[in-house]
Amino acid sequence: MAMFAHHATIDDNELDSMQRIWQGGRRKESASTAFFQGSDAEDLLAPSSEALWPIACTPHPQDRPSSDGESDSELQDYYEPSFFGKPCLELDGAALNDLPAHYTICSLQAHQFPVCGVYIDKRIVPGFKYKVRPLPPVGERSTLNKCLFKGKALRLQTIGRGFARRITFESDDGRLNCNDNYFYSDNRPEGYAFELELLSPGDKFTIFDMNHQAQGTVEVLNIEGPELEIASALSELGIEKRANVKFTGKVEFYDTGVAKPVLLSGLVVAVKAKGQPAAIVSKVCNVHIKRQKLYLIPGIKNDHRRVTVRGLDINDVPTKYTMTGLQPYELPVVGTYVDPRVIPGFSYRVRPNHKTYHLFGGRALRLLSIGMGYAKRLTFEPDTYNNPQNFMWSDNHPDGLGLEPRAVAKGMKFMVKAGGHVIGEATVFRDDNPQFEEKSEKIKTKTGQWAIEKHIHVDVICHVQLSRPGGASSERDSYMMRISGVALARLAPGARRAHIVDIHSIGLDSELYVLFTQTCTEITFLPKGP
């Protein structure tokens, strides 16, 4: 009996020791989880470049995609043998140093992370965007059900504590008191699958080559397939995630100036900095376009924009210039080169390249003439004919000049016409937004001479006074509207000043536009008076 009691004492001691070890792991896990939830405990963690904890239910090494710059040795701690190919997946909360609860869910795909009961995959981190897909019963495809929140990827805000953990995402309208984008981890016995989204449609990037020279821009049009997370690490900058992605982007190279959709793939790197609520994409590397290796940096900065011009006219000097920083709506003038779209009779606003100010007090002046020779004199309409000062030479500025064509100016008055009837009058109140030339063409007149027409896109704010039947109107019929459209500027043969024919393809920032659209009525602005 004494021997039996001795063995029982040993078993109790071993049990107490095991419980202390398990509770210690729970406390460490709680401190680590607090970091990802944006609490003050994140300052207690020392930054490290080591990979995060190994995660169960990740793709097998032979199934995961390969990416340049990422060797298998760098990622071997991130992946474990896969459960894929089996009809079900066993989850154990004890593997996460959490409550030892067991769950059985259907087998997940490589890009999905499981959430069920107290089990929340460690790769799910607040601050990153996820799509949430309710899982079906065991044996069904994990992508059978539609995603929550209308299929949108939302930024994860917090993960609650306790047995039933509240998982909260950002609200649709940014309000804190009316946020319905949440659920509890134990709402479904089948569980949920989280799908990471680092790159989203509408994101814009600047393209750089391996020499760190800007080459063009790209806008993400559509994501082709799931984004597969391949690594996650805690660095000095914060929590860094990497994912392979394939997407269709509208690519525009500076040299060609032509934008077209291209199917691209690359490695997206996103970082959630300490103290910041949202993760930000830092770069997209390993992108190949026309057999050239490139990388993408978020945002489009026009100071990287590069334009190469050549004097190809047989009557001009055969020179070549490269300008950096020209705005997309500006026409280049540099050295001996003057863009052929710069035509006397039309109005332009002039900006020295790499400068934020405009010449002539920021006014748009009518161009009178373009001189001949090496340095061409550009003469604009003077303030006084006794002492004209509004002129310059094409080589005055070594970085060149940018000329913005202008058709509509503040104070201009227009008649608003719809369905063949005049319905009101519009006066331009502000013309701050840039105006850019869509096309320029020569039109043969009845006399056999040629007129020049420019189609210039405008975006202005107008004071619109609508007329009532019978010609009466009141202050209640006055509106301040944002008007966008295409102004047709015409330079008649032999004329020295272009005039506005009309503004068509009108868009109104007003509820009245819905009425005109439903009745298929086209709105046109006709110039009024001189």
Query: At 398, is the secondary structure helix, strand, or coil?
Result: coil
Q: Distances in Å between the alpha carbon of 173 and those of 149, 153, 176, 181?
A: 13, 14, 9, 11
Displacement of CA 427 from its chain's centroid (Å): 34
Q: How far apart are CA 240 and CA 413, in angstroms?
A: 56
| Residue 340 main-chain phi, psi, to 5 deg | -65, -15
Give the number of other Cβ atoms within 10 Å of residue 409's Cβ.
15
Displacement of CA 392 from its chain's centroid (Å): 39
Helix, strand, coil percent content, the chain, rounded in steps of 5:
15, 45, 45
pLDDT in tens, the chain (530 residues): 444 444 444 455 554 554 454 444 444 443 343 334 433 333 323 333 334 433 333 333 333 343 344 433 333 334 443 444 567 889 998 898 888 999 999 999 999 999 999 999 999 999 999 999 999 999 899 999 999 999 999 999 999 988 889 999 999 877 767 888 999 999 999 999 999 999 999 999 999 999 998 899 999 999 999 999 999 999 888 999 999 999 999 999 988 878 899 999 999 999 999 989 999 999 999 999 988 999 999 998 777 788 888 887 657 778 888 888 888 899 999 999 999 999 999 999 999 998 889 999 999 999 999 998 888 999 999 998 888 899 999 998 988 999 999 999 999 999 998 878 888 899 999 999 999 999 999 999 988 899 999 999 999 999 998 886 655 555 566 888 999 999 999 999 999 999 999 999 988 887 777 667 666 678 899 998 65
Place of tokens 């509207």: 481
| Residue 109 main-chain phi, psi, to 5 deg | -85, 170
